[in-house]
């Protein structure tokens, strides 16, 4: 014999809060526990015609918001490329605002598949690593030290005839 399901005639604020928590990704049992109702009652609310309709509204709204944010970020992509170009041309300056602008541009670019390279592994003799260090030091003295990174050996080991194997890490020069 099958028991009759509870179907609310109208959604109360507690019902709506349960459905909001579920729409935001909370597990149904956790949301029910937080609101002081049984999991069976929560299931009945969620599966009722009113509960399904309200949950669908919430999810549609969430999806529309995500699409809107994605479109806004896509609109920022040309500006981010422009900022990187200004840095390369030396037009941005060395202020803290310019550095923040550059970091924001990097963030936008990374969201669209152009991440910043954080670490590069190389297999090079020690003399080559020293040469790279000297070049990086020259770049820093001739450029804006607040924007351009410098190279630092973060891990090295002897690897037989190949000389030194090192990982070069890009770091920002402290302001």
The confidence score (pLDDT) of residue 3 equals 60
pLDDT in tens, 5-50: 778 889 999 999 999 999 999 999 999 999 999 999 999 999 999 9
pLDDT in tens, 40-53: 999 999 999 999 99
* Winning range, highest mean pLDDT, from 49-53, 143-147, 150-154, 156-160: 49-53
Domain ranges of the chain: 13-66, 117-175
Is the pLDDT reported for residue 174 higher than 60? no
- pLDDT above 70 covers what percent of the chain? 73
Calculate mean pLDDT across residues 86-113. Answer: 86
Yes or no: say if 127 and 160 are a contact pair by the CB < 8 Å rule: no
Is the pLDDT reported for residue 127 higher than 80? no
CA dist., res. 169 & res. 146, Å (int)? 17
Is the pLDDT reported for residue 166 higher than 70? no
CA dist., res. 18 & res. 46, Å (int)? 8
What length is written for the chain? 175
Q: What are the φ/ψ torsions at residue 149 (nearest 5 degrees)?
A: -80, 165
């Amino acid at each position: 014999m099958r028991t009759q399901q509870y179907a609310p005639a109208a959604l109360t604020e507690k019902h709506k809060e349960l459905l909001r928590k579920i729409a935001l990704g909370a597990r149904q049992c956790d949301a029910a526990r937080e609101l002081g109702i049984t999991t069976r009652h929560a299931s009945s609310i969620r599966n009722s015609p009113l509960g399904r309709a309200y949950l669908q509204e919430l999810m549609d709204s969430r999806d529309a918001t995500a699409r809107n944010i994605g479109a806004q970020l896509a609109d920022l992509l040309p500006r981010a490329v422009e900022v990187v170009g200004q840095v390369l041309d030396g037009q941005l300056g060395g202020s803290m605002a310019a550095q923040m602008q550059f970091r924001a541009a990097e963030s936008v670019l990374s969201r669209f598949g152009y991440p910043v390279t954080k670490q590069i592994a190389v297999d090079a003799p020690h003399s080559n690593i020293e040469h790279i260090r000297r070049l990086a030091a020259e770049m820093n003295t001739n450029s804006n030290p607040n924007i351009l990174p410098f190279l630092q050996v973060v891990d090295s080991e002897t690897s037989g005839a190949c000389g030194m194997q090192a990982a070069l890490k890009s770091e920002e020069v402290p302001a």
